[in-house]
Amino acid sequence: MSKCAWVTGAGKGIGRATALRLAEIGWRVAISARTESDLLALNRTLPGCEFGVYPLDVRDEVATIQTVQKIEKEFGKIDLAIFNAGTYKPISIHNFSSEVFRDLVETNVMGTVFGLAAILPFFLKRKAGHIAIMGSVAGYRGLPTSAAYGCTKAGLINMAEALKLELEAAGIKLSLINPGFVDTPLTEKNDFKMPFLLSGPAAADLIVKGLNGNKFEITFPLRFAMIMKVLRICPNWILFRMMRFMGKKQ
């Protein structure tokens, strides 16, 4: 029997493209998202490929546990769980809102945490499994208008780093995916030029290739990721000078 993957946030964007790519190469893919019509549309995209449609709001812990149990019982034992569900809202001092932060933390962080809590008992019992957490290069340093989004992705990066060795000792592989700009409904909200913008299918190809490898971190596009990694270790004054310069160019 082919392997089974579970992808959250599979209705649109990177999640949709990744679910499609996995199905194309023979995976059985359980797909979850809040909007059932998006999942049903995805399910019709590749006739002959096996998708399992499991609508889910990842902010609901009980529903997440029930969804994992249903997938394991009805669709197959999960070999790979990709926690991709997330959202982005730009924020500045002029529209600063605790509700924006709450929404992004509940979706991006707690949605991933609930997924981990639901799948770990199955993986620990089998002493096997592969977990992929969707971070972002925006989690490397604080960037303008990304105060809410960036802090959630920084938290996910930190959490993944903290869990890596313990999961490895338990026989569970952990991958951290840190994309740059990808052409999705979320990035369409941006009103600035996005360097090295990738299409969803191109990002999915890189993700699937990376998941088949042995590296902990899957990050792309390479040039932009390298710039962000350099900024991660640069003194603050360099970061802020660059941000001022970029702001003047907008």
| Angle in degrees, CA 59, 60, 65, rounded to 5 | 120
Q: What is the pLDDT of residue 241?
A: 83
Please report the pLDDT score of residue 244 as a whole number. 78
Q: Identify the pLDDT of residue 171.
A: 98
pLDDT at position 193: 59
Residue 247 has a pLDDT of: 54
Are the C-beta atoms of 108 and 152 separated by less than 8 Å?
yes
pLDDT of residue 129: 98
Instruction: Please identify which of the residues 54, 88, 140, 149 carries the catalytic annotation.
Output: 149
**Per-residue pLDDT of the chain in tens (250 residues, 90 and over written 9):** 689 999 999 999 999 999 999 999 999 999 999 999 999 999 998 888 889 999 999 999 999 999 999 999 999 999 999 999 999 999 999 999 999 999 999 999 999 999 999 999 999 999 999 999 999 999 998 888 889 999 999 999 999 999 999 999 999 999 999 998 666 666 555 555 555 567 879 999 999 999 999 999 999 988 877 887 888 888 888 888 877 765 554 5
Integer Cα distance of 96 and 102 in angstroms:
12
Between CA 185 and CA 193, with CA 189 as vertex, the angle to 5 degrees is 110
Clarify whether 88 is annotated catalytic: no
Beta strands, E only, the chain:
4-8, 28-32, 51-53, 80-83, 130-134, 173-179, 217-220
Predicted confidence at residue 234, as pLDDT, reads: 82
Note the pLDDT of residue 194. 57
Instruction: Give the pLDDT confidence score for residue 195 in this predicted structure.
Output: 57
Q: Are the C-beta atoms of residues 89 and 148 closer than 8 Å to each other?
A: yes
For the full predicted model, state whether its pTM sits above 0.75: yes
Q: Cα(139)–Cα(34) distance, rounded to whole angstroms?
A: 25
E strand or H helix at 29: strand 28-32
CATH number for the 4-249 domain, one of 3.90.226.10, 2.40.70.10, 3.90.260.10, 3.40.50.720?
3.40.50.720
